[in-house]
């Protein structure tokens, strides 16, 4: 499972005299670079380990392209051949449109949008495409020569490969999805195939994730249905062999228990045996000592309409010691926070255990994690392993930092934050406030409090998740402004809370509405929770003018006038929301959510959307990777250097040249 960034409002210190954070922008995409702080300080053997694992993370890129659609590799390679060999005019609108299309194909790992799954609509004509191909010496195309027709049809025929992932109930989801997980197989046939497989293994408390690492194929002539397993000697073998090559290098420098885990993963890649994958996952979950960690394999199944086949991904990372220190301090003081919470004593936990969330620094992204990547990871996915052995949950700090840096100067704060003092505080402390609020929410908020005797939980029904998020958010907001945080050395002053509060209220009352379609109310529970808190505090603080709605030059602004009083309101509300949960008071919960969290003022909604979209901020972001280079002396590795290339096109062309191991048709 992975969680994705929502970065509507963000701000931080501006980089002075450094390379820009945004390295490319096209269509609805911005490409950002990220840095790997702490890499230079790693011991040599860990640097080497990162290097080998990073190589392994890059070798599966073609697999993911092919998984997304069977024509993706020939389309990408044809366009790359054109891009590198076209001698004609590169300033015409049609050429620019072709270049943009290629950038989108790289970003999405195929011809479908990475988020909406719809096929891209080219803004250049088929005739132009064919003319350009014609103008390039035929030998440049090599094996692609006979595929130009297929490629052209894939790009320009709107009836072909319409969507990568169709989830409309009632339709044959496999027949109508263009991903390459099933070939010539109807949905009912695939479902029966795997139902039979599961039935043959019924009662096994440790069921394998059937179908995870294979394409399911129906033979035209005989009707026989079988799996083509992704392994050495199987489908995608040329790429998997390279992955194994680098994993074995990594294994040689890794220490136990990681050494044995890598061996289990290599064995899985060599045999395709899903039991080996489970063995690897169990070892991986139990390993909490290795500083360098990684993901490499067929992991997430969101791309398969049946939720079975997994996309290939790679991620290499190491512990962010400083950020982990932050969550450790919070966790170590969990009892103090619980004891001093404004919640009624009966609903506080007498003995509380904080959770120490791990924060990591990413060093390489690959496959399903590149260029678009989640900001958190929670694995493994197999239910029985999670139940038996737990899971590892981490957040990725250098990626959120890069998002934050990239958002700086996008005009958002200038448009929506009325007062200069608020903008300055948000610039200075916005990221720290966000991080701490998340830490308090995750490490303490959800785990705090207790139910009254006889209450089982679940009484709040459909309002449960909104109120639960509100409870954890309020815990975080209340303590973000507590002098205890200064005492613990986590913040320099109350100014951090001021930055966080101003941003939270603005987002809850106004700016998050930019993500809601016009005419709709707020549905998503995290968004409802933010609206609930902001609107409740606005109304409760009206007499004291704690939060003010200001109209200026025809624009609406939300301003916090009294941060101390606002903190008091967070405390009051936390007490009430905890009471509702502890007593299972459905009526009160229902009233609270319906009154404050759902209904949108249509005029304000339209205004927010108009102002937000006028800023031209690209809604999606992705990343270019750093580069690692071995430094050798007398045939011995003495160091590994990291650098930060800032050219999206060069990185993509380079990867296609150096890490492309699969044939056009697989």
Residue ranges that bind Zn ion, judged by CB under 5 A: 472
> Whole-angstrom Cα distance, residue 93 to residue 97?
6
For Zn ion, the closer of residues 276 and 473 by Cβ is 473
Least distance from Zn ion to the Cβ atom of residue 400, Å: 16
The per-residue DSSP string of 186-240 comes to -HHHHHHHHHHHHHHTTT-SS---TTTTEEEEE-TTT--EEEEEBSTTSBTHHHH
Q: How many CB atoms lie within 10 A of CB 461?
A: 11
Q: Is 175 helix (H, G, I), strand (E, B) or coil?
A: coil
The least CB distance from residue 48 to Zn ion, in Å, is: 38
**Taking the complex as a whole, how short is the minimal distance between the CB of residue 318 and Zn ion, in angstroms?**
26
Q: How far is CA 242 from CA 104, 575, 609, 614, in A?
A: 27, 57, 48, 46
Closest distance of CB 574 from Zn ion, Å: 14
Q: In whole angstroms, give the CA distance from residue 558 to residue 504.
A: 11
Least distance in angstroms from the C-beta of 432 to Zn ion = 19
- Judged by beta carbon, residue 402 or residue 467, the one nearer Zn ion is 467
Q: What are phi and psi of 546, to 5 degrees?
A: -65, -50
* Joined tokens for residue 254: 């890794």
Give the nearest distance from C-beta 471 to Zn ion in angstroms: 9
Tell me which residue has tokens 């009912």: 188
Q: Contact 67/311 with Cβ under 8 angstroms?
A: yes
Residue 472 C-beta: closest distance to Zn ion, Å = 5
Those residues whose C-beta lies under 8 Å from the C-beta of residue 93, and which sit 6 or more positions away, are none
List, in sequence order, the alpha helices (H) in 319-407.
Answer: 321-332, 334-339, 383-389, 397-407
CB atoms within 10 A of CB 478: 26
CB of 470 to Zn ion, least distance (A): 10
Question: Distance (Å, rounded) from C-alpha 365 to C-alpha 320?
Answer: 17
Q: How far apart are the first and last CA of the chain?
A: 28
**Cβ–Cβ < 8 Å for 627, 642:** yes
Give the nearest distance from C-beta 395 to Zn ion in angstroms. Answer: 12
Positive or negative torsion for Cα 290, 293, 296, 302: positive
Q: Before 380, cis peptide (omega within 30)?
A: yes
Beta bridge partners of 550: 557
Q: Which is nearer to Zn ion, 63 or 472 (CB)?
A: 472
Q: In what order do the strands lie in the sheet with 2-3?
A: 2-3, 376-379, 392-396, 358-367, 311-319, 292-300
CA distance 501 to 489: 20
CB closer to Zn ion out of 394 and 472: 472
Residue whose CB is less far from Zn ion, 22 or 444: 444
**CB of residue 364 to Zn ion, shortest distance in Å:** 29
Query: Which residue in the shown chain puts its C-beta closest to Zn ion?
Result: 472
For Zn ion, the closer of residues 467 and 472 by Cβ is 472
Give the separation between CA 280 and CA 278, rounded to whole angstroms: 5
Q: Is 499 exposed, middle or buried (0-12, 13-18, 19+ CB in 10 A)?
A: buried
* Residues in CB range of 142: below 8 A, 6 or more apart: none
Phi and psi at residue 547, in whole multiples of 5°? Answer: -120, 135
Q: How far apart are CA 241 and CA 261, in angstroms?
A: 18
- Comparing CB distances to Zn ion, the nearer of 59 and 534 is 534
User: Residue 180 or 438: which CB sits closer to Zn ion?
Assistant: 438
φ, ψ at 347 (rounded to 5°): -105, 10
Q: Among residues 299 and 472, whose Cβ is nearest to Zn ion?
A: 472
Cβ closest to Zn ion, residue 281 vs residue 525:
525
Q: Which is nearer to Zn ion, 234 or 445 (CB)?
A: 445
- The least CB distance from residue 594 to Zn ion, in Å, is 21
Smallest distance, Zn ion to C-beta of residue 570, A: 16
- 308 vs 530, which CB is nearer to Zn ion? 530
Nearer to Zn ion (CB atom), residue 64 or residue 570: 570
Q: Quote the least distance from Cβ 169 to Zn ion, whole Å.
A: 29
Tokens of 96: 């620019």
């Amino acid at each position: 499972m992975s969680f994705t960034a929502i970065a509507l409002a963000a701000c931080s210190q501006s980089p002075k005299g450094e390379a820009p954070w945004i390295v490319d922008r096209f269509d609805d995409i911005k490409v950002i670079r990220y840095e790997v702080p702490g890499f230079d300080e790693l011991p040599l053997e860990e640097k080497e380990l990162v290097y080998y694992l990073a190589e392994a993370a890059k070798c599966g890129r073609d697999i993911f392209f092919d998984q997304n659609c069977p024509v993706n590799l020939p389309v990408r390679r044809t366009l790359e051949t054109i891009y590198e060999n076209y001698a004609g005019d590169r300033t015409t609108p049609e050429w620019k449109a072709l270049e943009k299309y290629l950038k989108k194909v790289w970003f999405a790992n195929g011809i479908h949008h990475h988020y909406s799954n719809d096929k891209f609509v080219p803004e250049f004509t088929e005739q132009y495409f064919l003319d350009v191909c014609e103008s390039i010496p035929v030998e440049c195309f090599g094996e692609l020569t006979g595929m130009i027709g297929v490629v052209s049809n894939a790009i320009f025929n709107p009836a072909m490969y319409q969507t990568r992932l169709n989830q409309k109930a009632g339709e044959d989801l496999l027949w109508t999805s263009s991903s390459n997980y099933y070939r010539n197989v109807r949905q009912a046939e695939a479902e029966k195939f795997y139902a039979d497989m599961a039935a043959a293994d019924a009662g096994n408390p440790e069921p394998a994730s059937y179908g995870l690492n294979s394409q399911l194929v129906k033979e035209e002539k005989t009707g026989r249905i079988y799996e083509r397993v992704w392994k050495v000697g199987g489908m995608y073998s040329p790429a998997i062999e390279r992955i194994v090559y680098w994993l074995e290098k990594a294994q040689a420098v890794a220490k136990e228990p990681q050494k044995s885990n890598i061996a289990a993963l290599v064995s899985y890649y060599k045999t395709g045996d899903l039991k080996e994958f489970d063995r690897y996952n169990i070892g991986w979950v139990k390993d909490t000592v290795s500083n360098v960690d990684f993901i490499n394999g067929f992991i997430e199944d969101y791309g398969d309409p049946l939720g079975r086949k997994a996309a290939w991904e790679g991620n290499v990372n190491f512990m962010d010691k400083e950020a982990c220190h932050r969550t450790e301090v919070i966790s170590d003081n969990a009892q103090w926070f619980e004891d001093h919470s404004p919640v009624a004593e009966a609903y506080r936990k007498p003995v509380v255990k904080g959770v120490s969330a791990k924060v990591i620094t990413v060093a390489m992204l690959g496959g399903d994690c590149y260029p678009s990547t989640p900001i958190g990871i929670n694995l493994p996915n197999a239910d029985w392993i999670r139940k038996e052995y737990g899971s590892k949950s981490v957040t990725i700090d250098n990626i959120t930092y890069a998002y934050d840096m990239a958002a700086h100067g996008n005009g958002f704060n200038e448009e929506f934050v009325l007062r200069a003092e608020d903008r300055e505080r948000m610039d200075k402390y916005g990221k720290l406030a966000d991080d701490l609020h998340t830490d308090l929410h995750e490490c303490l908020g959800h785990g705090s409090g207790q139910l009254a005797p006889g209450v089982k939980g679940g009484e709040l029904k459909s309002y449960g998740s909104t109120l639960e998020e509100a409870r954890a958010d309020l815990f975080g907001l209340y303590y973000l402004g507590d002098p205890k945080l200064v005492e613990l050395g986590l913040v320099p002053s109350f100014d951090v809370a001021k930055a966080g509060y101003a941003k939270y209220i603005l987002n809850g009352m106004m700016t998050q509405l930019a993500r809601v379609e016009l005419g709709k109310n707020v549905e998503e529970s995290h968004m409802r929770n933010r609206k609930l808190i902001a609107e409740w505090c606005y109304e409760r603080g009206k007499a004291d003018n704690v939060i003010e709605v200001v109209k200026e030059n025809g624009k609406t602004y939300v301003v916090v006038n009294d941060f101390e009083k606002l903190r008091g309101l967070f405390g009051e509300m936390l007490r009430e929301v905890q009471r509702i949960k502890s007593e299972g008071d459905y009526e009160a919960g229902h009233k609270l959510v319906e009154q404050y969290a759902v209904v949108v003022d249509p005029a304000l909604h339209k205004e927010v959307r108009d102002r937000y979209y006028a800023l031209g901020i690209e809604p999606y972001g992705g990343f270019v990777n750093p580069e690692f280079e071995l430094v050798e002396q007398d045939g011995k590795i003495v160091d590994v250097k990291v650098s930060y290339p800032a050219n999206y096109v060069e990185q993509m062309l380079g990867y296609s040249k150096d890490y492309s191991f699969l044939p056009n048709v697989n």
